[in-house]
Amino acid sequence: MNILNKKKIFQSLFYYFLLICVVIWSIIPIYFVVSSSFKIPRDIFGYPPSIIPVETTLSNYVNLFIDSPEFMPAIRNSGIVALSSMLLTIVICLPAAYVFSRYKQSLFRQIAILLIAIRMFPPLVISVPLFPILNQLKLSDNQIILIILYTTFEVSIITLILKSFIDSIPFEVEEAAYIDGARMDQVFFYMILPLSKPVLVGISILVGTYAWNEFQFAFLFTSVNAKTTPVLIGEMVGALTGIQWGILFAASVVQFIPALLFLWIIQNQLIHGMAVGAIKG
């Protein structure tokens, strides 16, 4: 018994050690970006590198908003595109997943396989034929185009994730509701939708993070009006006048803050939804 306890303690310590290593590995780049955004230019890549800035400054943030007035509109575009993509993806995928889960016809199985096949195509394969078509139709440089592209690219995998979740909901619960006289739309909105809240929150994080950070579609299909933050930061890296590293790091920090706040808020909702589901179960 004593040997077993020692083995469990050793395993726990080993897992905690691995967890700490992963956290440190993840935090170091973020800390470097944040600390560098407060450094004067000559200290950013100074040797030996300083963990704590010797001399701090806010000039990088001030110069960011002075030299790049289009930065805040880009943040706004990213937020609109990310939130709209999340909502549209959920509106499309949840009913589709319910149909795939509850109706077992061969046609629906074939469509599910087709969704998987479409998801395997890399974005570049889709972008090449779309680019001249959208230009010809004068639909490029539009937030709606990005929302449709992001939703289309995510709809297949999200539908399958939701289907797997709905498969775990006992059909007997719905049968009891049908016996009591409930319609299909009532079962969907008053039973399936509330039970799906935790997985919907997780999907929102997945789709929102993708739409917020996506670069390729935004780079190809936007120019001025619908330009998102990743594209603008990419332009800073490729500036002809040289890379202003302090301003670039400041832009990265500002771009990171809304996503961090969103993840923090929605994570609390995810934990709350899981706790409520466990209590009801």
pTM of the full structure: 0.83
Angstrom distance (rounded) from CA 75 to CA 92: 26
Residue 49: DSSP 8-state: P
Q: CATH number for 73-280: choose from 1.20.120.50, 1.10.760.10, 1.10.1740.10, 1.10.3720.10.
A: 1.10.3720.10
Q: Tell me the residue length of the chain.
A: 281
pLDDT tens by residue, the chain, 281 residues: 566 677 777 788 888 889 899 988 888 888 888 888 888 888 887 777 777 777 788 888 999 898 888 999 999 999 999 999 999 999 999 998 888 888 776 776 677 777 777 777 777 777 778 888 888 877 788 899 999 989 988 888 898 889 888 888 888 888 888 888 888 888 888 888 888 888 888 898 889 999 999 998 898 888 888 899 999 998 888 765 677 888 899 999 999 899 888 888 877 666 655 544 443 44
**Which pairs from 15-20 meet CB under 8 Å and 24+ separation?**
none
pLDDT in tens, 137-157: 777 888 999 999 899 888 888
Torsion of the alpha carbons at 51, 52, 58 and 60, rounded to the nearest 10? -10
Domains of the chain: which residue ranges? 73-280
Angstrom distance (rounded) from CA 19 to CA 23: 6
